[in-house]
């Protein structure tokens, strides 16, 4: 685990989250809970022409859950839906320990699979994004 990168990146995004706030009249939204840790994340997206034009989140909980949500928004904004889903798959594979060479700040979470109790914190925002996009169920729980 790249401990220093992980700690610095998580601390930075937890202290100063990017794309924090509600998007009124958004095209997609969902709400996620991780009861194990008490984390909550709401994801709001404006999708136009198969592009993630805007993505924001609100939430509360541990530093890992909130930093992961902040990093996710920076990774997905401006992406096509195909690219965004590829990022989602990559993050989920990384979290399960299958893949270990992510790009950008997501790399801070490489090795998180060694800490099962933190995996649910890290994937919460991504699963909430996935739920928002699919709009199958607008409330998810990692339990």
| Binding site residues, Zn ion, CB under 5 A | 37, 39, 62, 65, 121
> What is the nearest approach in angstroms of Zn ion to the Cβ of residue 85?
24
| CA atoms of 130 and 134, how far apart (whole Å) | 6
**20 or 27, CB closer to Zn ion?**
20
Q: Which long-range contacts (CB under 8 A, 24 or more apart) does 82-87 make?
A: 82/50, 84/52, 84/129, 84/133, 85/133
The residues, ordered by sequence, that sit 6+ positions from 117 with a Cβ below 8 Å of its Cβ are 36, 37
> What is the nearest approach in angstroms of Zn ion to the Cβ of residue 117?
8
Closest by CA to 124, choosing from 137, 111, 141, 109, is 141
**15 or 134, CB closer to Zn ion?**
15
> What is the nearest approach in angstroms of Zn ion to the Cβ of residue 41?
10
**62 or 110, CB closer to Zn ion?**
62
> What is the nearest approach in angstroms of Zn ion to the Cβ of residue 121?
3
**108 or 121, CB closer to Zn ion?**
121
């Amino acid at each position: 685990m790249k401990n220093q990168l992980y700690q610095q990146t998580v601390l930075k995004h937890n202290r100063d989250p990017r794309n924090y706030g509600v998007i009124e009249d958004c095209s997609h939204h969902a709400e996620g809970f991780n009861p194990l840790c008490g984390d909550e994340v709401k994801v709001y997206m404006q999708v136009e022409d198969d592009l993630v034009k805007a993505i924001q989140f609100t939430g509360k909980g541990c530093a890992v859950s909130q930093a992961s949500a902040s990093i996710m928004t920076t990774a997905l904004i401006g992406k096509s839906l195909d690219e965004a889903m590829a990022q989602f798959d990559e993050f989920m594979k990384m979290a399960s320990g299958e893949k270990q060479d992510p790009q950008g700040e997501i790399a801070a979470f490489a090795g998180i699979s060694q800490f099962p109790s933190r995996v649910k914190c890290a994937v919460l925002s991504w699963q909430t994004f996935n739920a928002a996009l699919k709009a199958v169920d607008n409330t998810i729980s990692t339990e």
